[in-house]
Amino acid sequence: MSKIGIIAIDGPAASGKSTLGKKLADALGYLFFDTGVMYRAITWLALDRGLDLADEAAITRLAEQADIDLRPPSQADGRSSDILADGEDITWDIRAPEVDANVSRVSAYPGVRRALGVQQRRIGLRGKVVMVGRDVGTVVLPEAQLKIYLDASVEERASRRYQELTDRGEPADYGEILSAMQRRDFIDSNRAVAPLRPAEDAILLNSDALDAEEVLAEVIHMVKDPDGTV
């Protein structure tokens, strides 16, 4: 039985964190928790309600009061869980380009981070969890026994996102995806609170030349006890 009960995976957009996190959690029988989903759900709710995204107090109140829930997948359409906001299934709505374009702004608000971070930490401390995000190893769960920082070039990440969208039959423009991703990387890495960066004790992995199975194999190797068990 592995002594690693809390695993943090951080890194920029589309670096393969969620794919790795889901596969790793399945292999270990752990809970998979993608924290980005919570920031996306708040952004979607704010847009849906027509709130002014510049109104930090209103967006913070929304994050403090919204009922966001993650449940086991109810449909086999590629989702790893159902995402519900006030009871409504918003699993795919939160992947819309309008959410992509605004989520970094919403997630830079300290009050939003505080409200969501408290919930993330409470769930993470129960253990047997693979938590994925930007600041899991640095802020949410600094006590994680294994911290991975998964990176890839912005061009590679943009082309993965392009592929994901076209696979789902959605319209996609590579140039637009690339510049939106560069913009998001910049905001995520330069915000005052909990910017995207590797924890000092994180293991850095670059997935440019590795496919999902190869990344998983490397991480499973790290999780194994010296006697070879996981």
Residue ranges binding ligand DC (CB under 6 A):
13, 35-36, 39-40, 103-104, 107, 133-136, 184, 188
Name which of 5 and 21 has its Cβ closer to ligand DC: 21
Q: Nearer to ligand DC by C-beta: 182 or 224?
A: 182
Q: How far is the CB of 120 from ligand DC (least distance, A)?
A: 7
Residues β-bridged to residue 6 = 129
Tell me the residue nearest to ligand DC as measured from the CB. Answer: 133
Residue 195 CA to residue 182 CA, distance in Å, equals: 15
Nearer to ligand DC (CB atom), residue 2 or residue 111: 111
Cα separation values, 138 from 11, 37, 52, Å:
11, 18, 30
Q: How far is the CB of 230 from ligand DC (least distance, A)?
A: 25
- In angstroms, give the least distance from the CB of 229 to ligand DC: 30
DSSP 213: H
Q: Are 124 and 133 in contact (CB under 8 A)?
A: no
CB of 48 to ligand DC, least distance (A): 17
Residues shown for the chain: 230
CA proximity to 212, closest of 2, 23, 8: 23
